[in-house]
Structure 1
Amino acid sequence: MATQYVAAPPAAGPPQGDEKPLKDHVSSKVAAQTILRKIDEDETFFSWKIIQTIIAAGGGFMVDAYDLFVIGLLTKLIGRIYYPDALQYAPSDLPNRSNYALASVALIGTLVGQLTFGHLADLFGRKPVHIVTMVIISIAALCSGMSFGTTGDAVVGTLCMWRFLLGLGIGGIYPLSATVMSETASTKYRGTYISAVFAFQGFGFLLAGTVVIILAAIWMPYPDAGDFLWRTAFALASVPPCITLYYRMIIPETERYEVNVKGDIQTAAKQLGIDNDPTIIKATGLKAKGHTWRSFLDLYGLPLMGCAFSWFLLDIAFYSQGLFQSDVFSIVGWLPAAYTMNAIEETYRIARAQLIISLASIIPGYWFTVATIEIMGRTKIQYMGFFFMTLFMGILAGLYDQLKGEVSNFIALYALTFFFSNWGPNSTTYVLPAEVFPSWFRATAHGICAATGKAGAIVGSYGFGILKDTPKHNAGLKTVLIVLTIVNALGLLTTIPIPETKGKTLEELGREGEDMSSMHTEESQDEPSSAQNVSHTSPFKSTDPNGKVTSNHLKVSSFILDAWAIRDIITSVTQVTS
Structure 2
Amino acid sequence: MSLRVLSRLDTARTQYYHFKAITIAGLGLFADACYLFCIPPIMKLIGHIYYKSHNNRIQPAVESSMLAATLLGTAIGQLIFGRLGDRVGRRGVYGVALIFMMVGSIACGFSLGTTPGCVLASLGFFRFLVGVGIGGDYPLSATIMSEYANKRTRGAFIAAVFSMQGFGILVSSVVTMAVCKTFGRIYHRSPEDPPKEADIAWRLILMLGVIPAVITYYRRMKMPETARYTALVEQNVLQAARDMERVLDVPLSQITEDHIFPPSPPPYPLFSRKFFLRHGRDLLACSATWFLLDIVFYSSNLFQFEIFHKYLLDEGVTALDATFKVALLQAVVACYSTIPGYFAAVFLIDRVGRVKLQAAGFFFMAIVYFSMGVPDNKYWKGPRHMLFIFLYGLTFFFANCGPNTTTFIVPAELFPARFRTTCHGIAGAMGKVGAIFGAVGFSKTWQALGMRVTFIIFGGICMAGMAVTLLFARETMGRSLEENENEDESVQ
**Larger Cα Rg: Structure 1 or Structure 2?**
1
Cα 1:142/1:300, change in 2 over 3 Å: same
**Partner SS, residue 220 of structure 1:** helix
Alignment correspondent of 2:157: 193
| Correspondence 1:303 to 2:273 | no
Gaps of at least 5 residues in structure 2 are 190-194, 246-250
How far did 1:289 drift? Answer: 2.6
Deviations 1:237-295 (A, max 9, x none): 11111101111111110000011111001111112224334953642443343322222
| Correspondence 1:126 to 2:126 | no
Amino acid at match of 2:331: L
Give 1:54's match in structure 2, choosing from 22, 25, 29: 22
Alignment correspondent of 1:226: 198
User: In structure 1, how many angstroms separate the alpha carbons of the residues matched to 2:400 and 2:256?
Assistant: 44
| TM-score under structure 2 length normalisation | 0.93
Alignment correspondent of 1:390: 366
How far did 1:468 drift? Answer: 2.1
Give 1:363's match in structure 2, choosing from 321, 339, 344: 339
Query: Do the aligned partners of 2:35 and 2:130 also contact (CA within 8 Å) in 1?
Result: no
Alignment correspondent of 2:124: 160
User: In structure 2, how many angstroms separate the alpha carbons of the residues matched to 1:188 and 1:242?
Assistant: 32
Gaps of at least 5 residues in structure 1 are 5-31, 515-530, 532-547, 552-578
Give 2:305's match in structure 1, choosing from 326, 330, 346: 326
Give 1:500's match in structure 2, choosing from 443, 459, 475: 475
How far did 1:201 drift? Answer: 0.2
Query: Do the aligned partners of 1:387 and 1:488 also contact (CA within 8 Å) in 2?
Result: yes
Cα 1:413/1:361, change in 2 over 3 Å: same
Deviations 1:320-374 (A, max 9, x none): 00111111111xx32134x421111101112112211110001110011011111
Query: Do the aligned partners of 1:137 and 1:238 also contact (CA within 8 Å) in 2?
Result: yes
Cα 1:443/1:397, change in 2 over 3 Å: same
Alignment correspondent of 1:66: 34
Alignment correspondent of 2:229: 257
Query: Do the aligned partners of 1:265 and 1:286 also contact (CA within 8 Å) in 2?
Result: no
Count of residue pairs the alignment pairs up = 474
User: In structure 1, how many angstroms separate the alpha carbons of the residues matched to 2:440 and 2:128?
Assistant: 17
Alignment correspondent of 2:168: 204
| Correspondence 1:106 to 2:77 | no
Amino acid at match of 1:101: S
How far did 1:219 drift? Answer: 1.3
Give 2:324's match in structure 1, choosing from 328, 348, 353: 348
User: In structure 2, how many angstroms separate the alpha carbons of the residues matched to 1:83 and 1:361?
Assistant: 32
| Correspondence 1:428 to 2:406 | yes
Higher helix share: 2
Amino acid at match of 1:102: M
| TM-score under structure 1 length normalisation | 0.80
User: In structure 2, how many angstroms separate the alpha carbons of the residues matched to 1:159 and 1:306?
Assistant: 35
Query: Do the aligned partners of 1:195 and 1:431 also contact (CA within 8 Å) in 2?
Result: yes
| Correspondence 1:245 to 2:213 | no
User: In structure 2, how many angstroms separate the alpha carbons of the residues matched to 1:58 and 1:510?
Assistant: 25
Alignment correspondent of 2:451: 477
Query: Do the aligned partners of 2:366 and 2:463 also contact (CA within 8 Å) in 1?
Result: yes
Which segment is superposed worse, 74-83 or 118-127?
74-83
How far did 1:95 drift? Answer: 2.7
**Partner SS, residue 312 of structure 2:** coil
Spell out structure 1 runs of 4+ moving beyond 4 A. Answer: none
Amino acid at match of 1:376: V
How far did 1:467 drift? Answer: 1.8
User: In structure 1, how many angstroms separate the alpha carbons of the residues matched to 2:451 and 2:463?
Assistant: 19
Query: Do the aligned partners of 1:396 and 1:403 also contact (CA within 8 Å) in 2?
Result: no
Amino acid at match of 1:490: A
How far did 1:97 drift? Answer: 3.8
User: In structure 2, how many angstroms separate the alpha carbons of the residues matched to 1:102 and 1:336?
Assistant: 22
Give 2:428's match in structure 1, choosing from 444, 450, 454: 450
Amino acid at match of 2:475: E
**Partner SS, residue 280 of structure 1:** coil
Query: Do the aligned partners of 1:319 and 1:460 also contact (CA within 8 Å) in 2?
Result: yes
| Correspondence 1:174 to 2:138 | yes
User: In structure 2, how many angstroms separate the alpha carbons of the residues matched to 1:314 and 1:284?
Assistant: 43
Which segment is superposed worse, 148-157 or 236-245?
148-157
Cα 1:300/1:284, change in 2 over 3 Å: closer
How far did 1:167 drift? Answer: 0.2
Cα 1:53/1:279, change in 2 over 3 Å: closer
Identical-residue share of aligned pairs (%): 37
Cα 1:455/1:278, change in 2 over 3 Å: closer
Query: Do the aligned partners of 1:55 and 1:247 also contact (CA within 8 Å) in 2?
Result: no
Q: Which has the higher contact order (CA 8 A, sep 6+)?
A: 2
